[in-house]
Amino acid sequence: MSAVNSLARPRRAGRSANRRPGRRPERMWAYLMVAPMTIGLSVFYLWPIAQTFFYSFTKSGPFGGHAWIGTANYRALVDEPSVLQSVANTLFYAVVQLAGIPLAVLLAALLNQRGLRGRSIYRLVYFLPVVTMPVAVAMLWRWMYNGDYGLINQLLSIVGVRGPHWASDPSVALYAVAAIGIWMALGYNMVIFLAGLQGIPTMYYEAAAIDGAGPAKMFFRITVPLLSPSIFFATVLTVINSLQMFDLAYMMMSTPGAAAGTANPALPQVRTVSYLFYQKAFVEHDLGFGAAVAFVLLGFILAMTLIQFRLQRRWVHYA
Amino acid sequence: MRDGAMAGGRSTRRAGTAATHVVLIAGAVVMVGPFLWEVLTSLKTFSETTHLPLTFLPHRWQWSNYVRVFEQLPFRQMFLNTVLMAAGRTLAQLVFCSMAAYAFARMRFRGNNLLFGLFLSVLMVPSQLFLIPQYVIIQDLGWVNTLQGLIVPGMFSAFGTFLLRQFFLALPHDVEEAARLDGANAFQIFLRIALPLARPGLLALTILTVLWSWNDLMYPLVVTTDPSAMPLSAGLATLQGEHFTDYSLLMAGSIMATAPMIVAFVVLQRHFIQGIAFTGAKG
């Protein structure tokens, strides 16, 4: 899903003009050099897309084999309430993740001030969760979210608030998971914006200062519009990644004493589409239904990305 | 928000800088606090972690928790699995991606556009669309719970090919032309001239592949069922579900599981940030 980046940035060196037409030995070398990757991608990625599509019209027997059942899996998608609920959960999660973007813009703008001391330390600290294994991050937060012994409720009790069981209370669990998501991605978005800010010429700010503009006005009138291509890029990426969220939900929902990923009371409110896919295909071994869910996910991602590219004309300024 | 933004006298500017640091430090506490709590929890006894009111510092520092991780979980084996999986995928990707990327960037052959388009389509599709058939293949080969099952599909990457192609496209042509006039063949030019010049790209691909292999959860969860065949991510996930509310043990385990990537990040900070942020690669 990373190709999006190339759309948000000007292309680097294009096709060279002085490249010669392929001579025979060169052509042979070219085929040899692309062969391993072509074979590998075909076997493990390209053909599987077609196979998944085929599976989505079948029901897999207990001893392998796939019986053609037409569109039954897709019709079952509509009937099963967990599907619609998981689509709603995923959408909600993705929308909440977008709240992290203004936060990251603000942090980047603060960090970008000339002569600021300790910039590289701040950047290191904010980026730390990006390189940390999501499984470990989720485990840590689940411990902090613990209703009885968690740090969060302990801190809340100081100010006299009695916190809920964050990871298992259906009314708050998805918010709790979404907060972890924002925390994990903050440094990543911030770094994208830092790079974008470096491309804004200082003279705009100097001119605005002469006209008597204050910091707030400069931020909203100069920084935000000129940063909008980076903001767009981060938004598209955040949505694509959020729509596929699995690790955090999986880790938050597993219960001690049972196999991972089973029955937390908040599961219906936290289960994402990707989680549902995993559960159907690999826990309940219903490959056909799982394949249909995977295509729901694909359609969902394509639709959301398309909508964003449509909307971009209204607010993204390309200098 | 640059210098000019703080116009209006030195004292205002100083107040502005102080306010900036207050905000940034508050943010930094939110980012580091959980990690600190993780370390402190890992050094407490089980009974201390579940005793109210919570203590901040451990009553007695339980370094033995770290030893217990090795005694109670197949941690050493999981760690080894993770290292071998990351190394195997990364080495293979460096070879296969760079060869294909160079051919796409510099060589002419029939069908190159079609092939490149197919590669790009892999990039556009979420990984859930490959996973079921990959699982079926791994199962048919009898590779469930094996190292090759963890490694092989990850040896190929459309993303890596695309990334390195960008690096090769940006290289100047002159040196390659000179080598060609000296009679070097296409593969020699790739190996001796283009590849060394593309080192920053190879480093970025290495960082991304290692990090991604180290942290990925769903794929290893699908192709391994036996804890001693799992990498750390799937292993920790399974263990949290199966045994424990013993968080001091879980925290000690996850600190050891994440430490290699964090240390690598601190050492190679600039390369990590460039590699991750500017390729848009994450998860």
pLDDT truncated to tens, each residue of chain B (283 aa)? 444 444 456 677 777 788 899 999 999 999 999 999 999 999 998 888 888 788 888 888 889 999 999 988 899 999 999 999 999 999 999 999 999 999 999 998 888 999 999 999 998 899 999 999 999 999 999 999 999 999 999 999 999 999 999 999 999 888 888 888 888 888 999 999 999 999 999 999 999 999 999 999 999 999 999 999 999 999 998 877 665 678 889 999 999 999 999 999 999 998 888 887 767 554 3
Task: Tell me the percentage of chain A whose pLDDT exceeds 90.
Answer: 61
Using a CB-CB cut-off of 8 Å, the residues of chain A touching B170 are 12-13
Residue position matching structure tokens 């990690």: B35
The type of residue at A9 is R
- CA nearest to A167, candidates A94, A258, A275, A256: A256
Omega of the bond leading into B53 within 30 degrees of 0 (cis) = yes
Do residue B57 and residue B80 come from a single domain? no
Cross-chain CB nearest to B257 (options A30, A136, A256): A136
Q: What is the pLDDT of residues A273-315, one digit of tens each?
A: 999 999 999 988 899 999 999 999 999 999 999 999 999 988 8
pLDDT at B226: 92
Tokens of B129: 């669309």
Q: What is the pLDDT of residues B148-164, one digit of tens each?
A: 999 999 999 999 999 99
pLDDT at B165: 94
Residue A172 lies in a domain: yes
Helix, strand, coil percentages in chain B from 3-state DSSP, rounded to 5:
75, 0, 25
DSSP-assigned states of every residue in chain A: -TTHHHHHS---S-S-TTPPPPPHHHHHHHHHHHHHHHHHHIIIIIHHHHHHHHHTTEEE-BTB-EEE-TTHHHHHHHH-HHHHHHHHHHHHHHHHHHTHHHHHHHHHHHHTSTT-TTHHHHHHHHHHHHHS-HHHHHHHHHHHH-TTT-HHHHHHHHTT-----TTT-TTTHHHHHHHHHHHHHHHHHHHHHHHHHHTS-HHHHHHHHHTT--HHHHIIIIIHHHHHHHHHHHHHHHHHHHHT--HHHHHHH--TTS-TT---TTHHHH--HHHHHHIIIIIS--HHHHHHHHHHHHHHHHHHHHHHHHHHHHH----
Last residue of a domain, one of B43, B66, B89: B66
**CATH number of the domain where residue B196 is located:** 1.10.3720.10
* Parent domain of A146: 80-315
In a mutational test of the A interface, the residue from B3, B95, B125, B144 whose CB has the highest number of chain A CBs within 10 Å is B125
Cross-chain CB nearest to A48 (options B109, B133, B255): B133
Task: Tell me the percentage of chain A whose pLDDT exceeds 70.
Answer: 88
Q: Across the interface, do B247 and A47 touch by the CB < 8 Å criterion? A: no
Residue A184 lies in a domain: yes
Q: What is the pLDDT of residues A122-159, one digit of tens each?
A: 999 999 999 999 999 999 999 999 888 899 999 999 89
Beta bridge mates, A62: A64
**CATH number of the domain where residue A180 is located:** 1.10.3720.10
Based on DSSP, count helices (H) and strands (E) in chain B, helices before strands: 16, 0
What CA–CA distance (Å, rounded) separates B39 from A127?
Answer: 18
- CA nearest to B134, candidates A148, A105, A40: A40
End-to-end, the C-alpha distance of chain A in Å comes to 25
Alpha carbon of A306: minimum distance to chain B alpha carbons (Å): 13
Using a CB-CB cut-off of 8 Å, the residues of chain A touching B166 are 6, 12
What CA–CA distance (Å, rounded) separates A75 from A88?
Answer: 18
Do residue B149 and residue B248 come from a single domain? yes
CB distance from B19 to chain A under 8 Å? no
Residue A90 lies in a domain: yes
Query: What is the domain count for chain B?
Result: 2
Contact by Cβ (8 Å): A154, A214: no
**In the predicted model, is pLDDT for residue A86 greater than 60?**
yes
Band of the pLDDT at A23, cuts 50, 70, 90?
A: low
Long-range pairs for A71-75: beta carbons < 8 A, 24 or more residues apart: A73/A288, A73/A289, A73/A291, A73/A292, A74/A292
Do residue B60 and residue B113 come from a single domain? no
Do residue B158 and residue B54 come from a single domain? no
* Parent domain of B210: 74-279
Find the range with the poorest average confidence among A35-39, A85-89, A262-266. A262-266
**Is the confidence metric ipTM above 0.95 for this complex?**
no
